[in-house]
A and B are shown apart, each in its own frame.
Chain A
Amino acid sequence: MINRIDQELSFSQTALNLRAYRQELLASNIANADTPNYKARDIDFKAALEGALGKGQSGALALVQTSERHLPAAGSNRFGAAVQYRSEEQSNVDGNTVSMDVERAAFAENAIQMEAMLTFINGRFKTLNSAIQP
């Protein structure tokens, strides 16, 4: 039974973790809006989620570390998500590719999606709770 509950929630958990990671990347972009030569980065959420769930290709190519002393691959993270550079909207003289409106829109969207995921998890807990009520 506990195993079933775990399975029920594993998708939501993975998606939520990935959303939190994307939130971190977008916060980095917003924080570095005035840093010369900073390049905005993001992940393809769909591909990253598929990779994290073991369905897609992106997770399969992660670098294997067989020793603690191995250096991690550039841009590697615990989800195996490929961090990519955002294509530039308007070029800047200082080499910065952060476009504030794009980043803020993505940040807001990601926050809403994360809240939605939290609501779904809450609903699932409520369902489970009512199922075990005598």
Chain B
Amino acid sequence: MSVFNVFNIAGSALTAQSARLNAVASNLANADSVAGSNGQPYRAKQVVFAANPVGAEGGQGVRVTQVVESAAPLRMHYEPGSPFANEQGYVAMPNVNPVEEMVNMISASRSYQTNAEVMNTAKTLLLKTLAIGQ
């Protein structure tokens, strides 16, 4: 029955959107991390979505194919007293853009809500189908 596939499709979208929300949380939390685990400043992470076939009849779910690091230049902050400053007195700060991240967060949360609603509708329809003839 195709309606069961709706659960798989909406479920894959929920997983993908929560991965995106995860990346946003990580970026915002590390917006001021000068040195990451590898000694380099933190770089903003972005998830890449791709359509993924679900079932045999052309339903398409979503999956996260990879997490890429933003190629935007690092923010240079003038702070000569810092131990991380270079010869000119600049400290390389993460390339996280808080505005972009907030927009991403709202978009991810709206998409998550919509897909949760899709799941609810599918559930109602299936329960109604089960009640046929009663």
List residues of chain A with CB under 8 Å of any chain B CB.
Answer: 16-17, 20-21, 23-25, 27-28, 30-36, 38, 41, 75, 77-78, 83, 100, 104, 107-108, 111, 114-115, 118, 121-122, 125
Query: Which chain B residue shows the least CB distance to A72?
Result: B56
Q: Chain B residues with Cβ under 8 A from A32's Cβ?
A: 13, 49, 51, 60-62
From 112 to 129 in chain B, residues with beta carbon under 8 angstroms from any chain A beta carbon are: 114-115, 118, 121-122, 124-125, 128-129
Shortest Cβ distance from residue A52 to the other chain B in the assembled complex, whole angstroms: 13
Would you call B114 and A33 a contact (CB within 8 A)? yes
Given contacts A24-B6, A28-B9, A118-B129, A34 and B58 within 8 Å (CB-CB): no
List residues of chain B with CB under 8 Å of any chain A CB.
Answer: 1-3, 5-6, 9-10, 12-13, 17, 20, 48-51, 54-55, 57-62, 107-108, 111, 114-115, 118, 121-122, 124-125, 128-129, 131-133
Query: Which chain B residue shows the least CB distance to A41?
Result: B58
A49 to B114, CA, bound (A): 28
Would you call A24 and B5 a contact (CB within 8 A)? yes
Residue from the list A28, A115, A121, A125 in contact with B59, Cβ < 8 A: A28
Residue from the list A24, A28, A125 in contact with B132, Cβ < 8 A: A125
